[in-house]
Each structure stands twice: as C-alpha cells, then as structure tokens.
Structure 1
Amino acid sequence: MSTVWSWEAVGFPVTLSLQIACLSSVIVFMLATLAALWMNRVHFPGQIVVETLFMLPLVLPPSVVGLILLTILGRRSWIGQFAEWLTHQPIVFSVTGAVIAAVVVAFPLVYQALKTGFALVNREVLESARSQGANELQLLWFMVFPLAWRSLVTGFVLGFARALGEFGATLMVAGNIPGKTQTLPTAIYFAVDAGNMQLAWSMTIITVLISFVLLLATSKIRGSD
C-alpha cells in the first residue's frame, strides 16, 4: 500500500491537478470571453441552438462527454491521428487529453458568468463612447472589461474550480496513470477502491480546502462594492 504522504501518492496528483486547472482555466477563459462577446453582440437564426450546444456539457453525464471526446480525439479519428503525427504522441491518455476534457466541462460555467456580466454593461454608455470616436477595441479594453470585472474574475475562478474537480471525462480521455495522468479526483476514487481510506481522506481534505478558498474568493468578489 502506498505511503500516505509520498510524492507519488499525494504530491503528484495535487501538482498535476493544479497545473491542469491553471492551463485549462486560461484557455477556457479566452474561449468563453470570445463566445460571450460574440453572442451578446450578434443575432442570427439558430442562435439559441448554438447557445444550447455551448451549455450542453453542463447537463450531460461526464461519461457521455468523455465518450464523445474519446471518439473525436482517439487514435482512429483524423484529429487524433493528426495530433499524434504532429507531436509524436496520442492525445488520449495524456495530460493534453486531461486539459481538453477540463476545458470542455468548464466552458459552460465560464461562458454563462461572462455572458451575464457583459449583458449588464450599460449600452448607452458604450454608444456615447462610440459617438466620441472610440473604436471597438478601445470600448472593450477600457469600458466593457472594467465594468464587467467581477464577472470576469468570477468566471475565471469558477472555471479553475470546475477544472480542478473534473473526474468522469478526464478518466475516460486521460485515464488514471500514476505519475503521468493521475489527478486528484481520479487518485481519490482509486484510493477508495483500493481500501486506502487514509490516502483518500488526505487528498479529499486538500481538495476541499482548495475549493473552499476558491468559492470564498468568488463570494467576496460578488459581494464587494
């Protein structure tokens, strides 16, 4: 049985989970920002269908999301084959696969937070700035982002927290390879499955503490003046 506080048993899953959460939250934040700005400013037939697709990972079982990603990114798909030719390693059962899974499942939360924040920006203020000669980039950087900063920070934190806790899709796409793709959620699951409750509880406490701090920070941001 693994030593509770060995690097392989605890340190690696914690470090890898934080790395995946950091990288995926940055990626999903950028994607969600572009999507939210686009959906707030452009109206087209079928828009509600597109938005429903954006939100779909939020309600689908993680195993379904994982199966879809596995089919799209697997070694038999053209995307998987191209990525393997480019990087000389498959996407599945890799850290890259874990990052992609985290991005997909976190996207709806971040998108919804940002879209709501952008929608609350006063349109009359923006039109006034346009009449004074401000271009779209200036409006975005100096008005929209500052006015919606709480939603931006909240979205980023929620994306980080969701990526940190991702389990089902990650397990199917990246697997649970100790020392390679084992994250905190998968490590906890397999520790319980192996009957190593001391190891499982030690990692659970770490996860709860990190999540508590993230949610507390989000609450502070939402409640600040």
Structure 2
Amino acid sequence: MIDLGAIRKQYTQGRLDEHTAASDPMTQFHAWFEQYRSTSPLEPTIMTLASVDESGQPWQRVVLLKAYDGEGFIFYTNYESHKGYQLAANPHASLHFFWINLERQVQVQGVVEKLSRAEAEAYFHSRPRESQLGAWASAQSRPLADRAELEARFAEVSARYDGQDVPLPEYWGGYRLRPARMEFWQGGEHRLHDRLEYRRQGQGEWLKQRLNP
C-alpha cells in the first residue's frame, strides 16, 4: 500500500459568505470563473462531466466548457460516443470544476438538452479545420485496431474535403446542461470549508443555503 496520509495542505485562500454571495448561482459562477481565468491557468475551460449508463454505473470524463449563460453550461461532443448514448437514455448529468490555485470547487447537477443544429453548425465551423476533420475520422468510443487505422481515416477525410468546407456530421453537436442545483466550495483552515448550495425553486428562483463542510 502506498500511504498518502501524511500529504496535507491548509487551505487559506479565502472565504465564501452566504450573505455576500450572489442570489443567482450563474452570477456567482461568472464572478468566480473570471477570477480563476485571471490567474492564467493552462486550460480554464476544463470541467468533469458525469453521466450514468443503463446499468446505473456512473462515468466521468474531462470535457471543455464552450459557453455559459443564464440558462446553463454548453459543451460539444459526438452523439454516438459513450456519453452521447448515456445522455440520450438518461439526460440527468453533473459537472465539476476544480480550481486548485484558488482552493475552489463548483459542482452542478441538472438535465441536458441538445442544442439546435444551427448552434452546432456555428460552433463546428469556428473550430480549427483539423479538429473538424477529426470529428469525421474518429468513431468516438468504438474499438480501434491501432493508431495507424485512425491516421489513415484522417488522411482519407482530409483528401475527401480538400479545397472545400468540412460539413458538420449528423452525429456531432452540442448540449446545454440546465442546472437544478449548484454548489460552491471554498477551502478553509482546519478543514472548516465554506460550502454554499443553490437549489432551483421555480422559474428563475433559487434557494441559497450554507452547508456543513
């Protein structure tokens, strides 16, 4: 056994007060995200997406947040991937942001919905051309014989669309996760962390309360 119990860190970066936090969690998220982004992290849009398969087994993977607004969080993927099939069968999902340099976490629970084809088109064509071609070359989550097979498919689609726009695949698009619950966590000394929970009560209404750490 590799014993890691002696690795300890005190969290002293700040506090989170339920009296001064925003009444709307997306407003609070925006404030925290902008503070995090100002620290120049390597990849500020990283988040963990959790979904559940047909047997009830949770899955997690890191994806990239591509936009957010008052309605929720937007990301893009292959609809025929593991997560695509899982979200089609059970649209309840969770997001997690971990910003260690600020000693903060944000978790989000809610329901996903597909974005419109027009929204997917607009984002797809903003991507680098090589990423567009990669969406055609990769049958995401399916077995692959070896790296050479993937590279051969990439070469084939590169030749197929040489000199023309790369179309959006039918199986590729975006989701918006509409939050029903959000929790903000600020590390505190002696493990007395600050946890603030928002639960949706109605259209545009949120109950905000402090939780024990």
TM-score of the superposition, structure 1-length normalised? Answer: 0.28
Instruction: From the two aligned structures, give the one with the greater strand fraction.
Output: 2
